[in-house]
């Protein structure tokens, strides 16, 4: 067999070459291409529990969990069984079915919302929630925070052109962060700094009357993990006084940080919540929901149009329902995830110290980022803080882990995700690999 005499990634390399010939950059979502860490992206053949197996037959301990959905681990028997059962009855109807009702009942009950609408991705959820907010308020502008990611809708691919916002005239001025997003759209998105309550208060004082919604990650995962301060959360709740709707983007944190998401864990009271990832149990599902008086603006009940050929898909609903049922049936799971992640943080801290490598760890629940910079653990609060990290050192560490069979998130500015299938053996494997990988970073 040719691959046994060539490189251990020969098949992934061959697939990557074929993929590049037919797909931009060879991937269907950018971070998968390993651009910021280098090396060959592993093409995954199958996954089970806490492990991924690539096209060359190498097995990796997985810390991506499909970027969040796989909180129960891969190929969970209950989820597989639910999908298999749904499959027997046909894959799509374009008409309502019972599973959509069951999942909606489950989601509203768990999250304390009254109405939910299912879509097919997190991007669709945030995009639709913003249209709803504009339709419900009759206002044009939205506010987002620098370094928060809410999917790839035009108005959300915007970040601040400068750092802190201090001048009332330029409050919130921002530029598109992607080609193809007209300035005219970007103009309607105002950007403020995460964890800066004074900046948010000033922005709302100046422009609150024209703002339809403030959208935020209740715990940031998309700049690496950043925790909100209580003062910032209080400022977020103050925006409601201006008539703007507060939208918690729980695509990453929903059903991950607790059964009630970050909203439950942190005691938030948003007007709307967006979900994705776990709510689909590994199939393409997003959702947005909230109080009936707001959600009833959505068509056909109200004037805000939003639709989807595959929305409420029976296989996807079955996977989501089985996942949420499994989470609810295992009340100790979240405590186990917390304990694993805390032990991982402690072990990484110790290993980095021994190797003389500076890292700063932020973690909550089953989300964790090790930032390669010299700062006290938990002290990094903003995108600007995160951006000071040594991405070259991170890339060396990532490669050291991968070479030892541990598949960490391939970017400094991402969270890793622990699943219920990560246990003592996985912790030991990770810390052994991390220790060796830190030694390589330090020696460089």
Q: What are phi and psi of 268, to 5 degrees?
A: -85, 155
d(CA 64, CA 198): 35
Interface with ligand PMP in residues 256-295 (CB under 6 A): 276, 286
**DSSP conformation letters of 7-28:** -TTHHHHHHHHHHHHHSGGGSS
**Minimum CB–partner distance for residue 347 and ligand PMP (Å):** 26
Residue 100 contacts ligand PMP per CB under 6 A: no
Q: Which is nearer to ligand PMP, 228 or 400 (CB)?
A: 228
**Minimum CB–partner distance for residue 124 and ligand PMP (Å):** 7
Q: What are phi and psi of 323, to 5 degrees?
A: -65, -50
Residues 6+ apart with CB under 8 A from 256: 68, 71, 277, 278, 365, 366, 367, 417
* Residue in 54, 60, 63, 277 annotated catalytic: 277
Q: Which of 56, 217, 385, 426 binds ligand PMP (CB under 6 A)?
A: 217
**Minimum CB–partner distance for residue 415 and ligand PMP (Å):** 9
* Residue in 60, 63, 149, 383 annotated catalytic: 149
Q: Which of 43, 60, 63, 149 binds ligand PMP (CB under 6 A)?
A: 149
Q: Which of 186, 212, 252, 322 binds ligand PMP (CB under 6 A)?
A: 252
Supply the DSSP symbol for 191: E
Residue 221 contacts ligand PMP per CB under 6 A: yes
Q: Which is nearer to ligand PMP, 262 or 395 (CB)?
A: 262
Q: Which is nearer to ligand PMP, 69 or 400 (CB)?
A: 69
Residue range at the interface with ligand PMP (CB under 6 A); choices 101-109, 118-126, 328-336, 423-431: 118-126
Residue 123 contacts ligand PMP per CB under 6 A: yes
Supply the DSSP symbol for 235: H
Q: What are phi and psi of 369, to 5 degrees?
A: -130, 135
Residues 6+ apart with CB under 8 A from 433: 400, 401, 404, 405, 406
Residue 189 contacts ligand PMP per CB under 6 A: no
Report the Cα 441 to chain-centroid distance in Å: 27
**Minimum CB–partner distance for residue 69 and ligand PMP (Å):** 9
List the x/- string, 378-417, binding to ligand PMP by CB under 6 A: ----------------------------------------
Q: What are phi and psi of 145, to 5 degrees?
A: -115, 145
**Minimum CB–partner distance for residue 407 and ligand PMP (Å):** 17
**Minimum CB–partner distance for residue 283 and ligand PMP (Å):** 11
Torsion, Cα 22 24 25 27, to 10 degrees, reads -80
Residue with structure tokens 């929901």? 289
Q: Which of 67, 194, 340, 394 binds ligand PMP (CB under 6 A)?
A: 67
Element (H, E) at 79: helix 77-87
Residue 149 annotated among the catalytic residues of the structure? yes
Torsion, Cα 372 421 254 226, to 10 degrees, reads -10
Residue range at the interface with ligand PMP (CB under 6 A); choices 217-225, 340-348, 362-370, 417-425: 217-225
Report the Cα 310 to chain-centroid distance in Å: 22
Q: Which is nearer to ligand PMP, 216 or 398 (CB)?
A: 216
Number of residues in contact with ligand PMP, rule: CB under 6 A? 16
Residue with structure tokens 């220790």? 435
d(CA 251, CA 68): 9
Instruction: For the chain, report the end-to-end CA distance as a whole number of angstroms.
Output: 36
Residue 196 annotated among the catalytic residues of the structure? no
Residue 146 contacts ligand PMP per CB under 6 A: no
**Minimum CB–partner distance for residue 111 and ligand PMP (Å):** 16
Residue range at the interface with ligand PMP (CB under 6 A); choices 48-56, 215-223, 327-335, 366-374: 215-223
Q: Which of 128, 189, 222, 360 binds ligand PMP (CB under 6 A)?
A: 222
β 367-371/416-417 pair status? antiparallel
Coil, helix or strand for 411?
coil
* Residue in 249, 271, 385, 390 annotated catalytic: 249
Q: Choose among 108, 181, 171, 174: nearest CA to 151.
A: 181
Residue 249 annotated among the catalytic residues of the structure? yes
Which residues are near ligand PMP by CB under 6 A?
A: 67, 121-123, 126, 149-151, 217, 221-222, 249, 251-252, 276, 286
Residues designated as active site: 149, 249, 277
């Amino acid at each position: 067999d040719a691959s046994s005499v060539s490189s251990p990634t020969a098949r992934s390399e061959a697939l990557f070459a074929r993929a590049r010939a037919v797909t931009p950059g060879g991937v269907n979502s950018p971070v998968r291409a390993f651009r910021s860490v280098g090396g060959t992206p592993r093409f995954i053949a199958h996954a089970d529990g806490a492990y991924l197996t690539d096209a060359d037959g190498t097995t990796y301990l997985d810390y991506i969990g499909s970027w969040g959905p796989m909180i129960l681990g891969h190929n969970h028997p209950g989820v597989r069984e639910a999908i298999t059962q749904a499959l027997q009855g046909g894959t799509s109807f374009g008409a309502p079915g019972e599973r959509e009702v069951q999942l909606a009942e489950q989601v509203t009950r768990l999250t304390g919302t009254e109405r939910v609408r299912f879509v097919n991705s997190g991007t669709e959820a945030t995009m639709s929630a913003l249209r709803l907010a504009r339709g419900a308020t009759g206002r044009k502008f939205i506010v987002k925070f620098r370094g928060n990611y809410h999917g790839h809708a035009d108005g959300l691919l915007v970040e601040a052109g400068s750092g802190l916002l201090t001048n009332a005239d330029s409050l919130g001025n921002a530029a598109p962060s992607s080609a193809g997003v007209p300035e005219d759209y970007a103009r309607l998105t105002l950007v403020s700094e995460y964890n800066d309550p004074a900046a948010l208060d000033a922005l709302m004082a100046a422009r609150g009357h024209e703002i339809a919604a403030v959208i935020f990650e209740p715990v940031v995962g998309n700049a690496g993990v950043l925790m909100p301060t209580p003062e910032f959360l209080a400022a977020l709740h103050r925006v409601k006084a201006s008539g703007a709707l507060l939208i918690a983007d729980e695509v990453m944190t929903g059903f991950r940080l607790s059964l009630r998401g970050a909203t439950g864990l942190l005691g938030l009271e948003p007007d709307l919540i967006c979900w994705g990832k776990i709510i689909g149990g590994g199939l393409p599902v997003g959702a947005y929901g909230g109080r009936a008086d707001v959600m009833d603006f959505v068509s056909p009940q109200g004037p805000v149009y939003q639709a989807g050929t595959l929305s409420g898909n029976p296989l996807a609903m079955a996977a989501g329902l089985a996942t949420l049922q499994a989470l609810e049936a295992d009340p100790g799971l979240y405590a186990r995830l917390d304990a694993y992640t805390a032990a991982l943080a402690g072990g990484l801290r110790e290993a980095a110290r021994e190797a003389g490598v500076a890292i700063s760890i932020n973690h909550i629940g089953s989300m964790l980022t090790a930032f390669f910079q010299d700062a006290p653990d938990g002290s990094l609060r903003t995108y600007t803080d995160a951006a000071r990290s040594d991405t070259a050192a991170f890339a060396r560490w990532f490669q050291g882990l991968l070479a030892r069979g541990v598949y960490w998130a391939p970017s400094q500015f991402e969270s890793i995700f622990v699943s219920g299938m990560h246990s003592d053996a996985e912790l030991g494997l990770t810390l052994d690999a991390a220790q060796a990988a830190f030694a390589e970073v330090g020696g460089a």
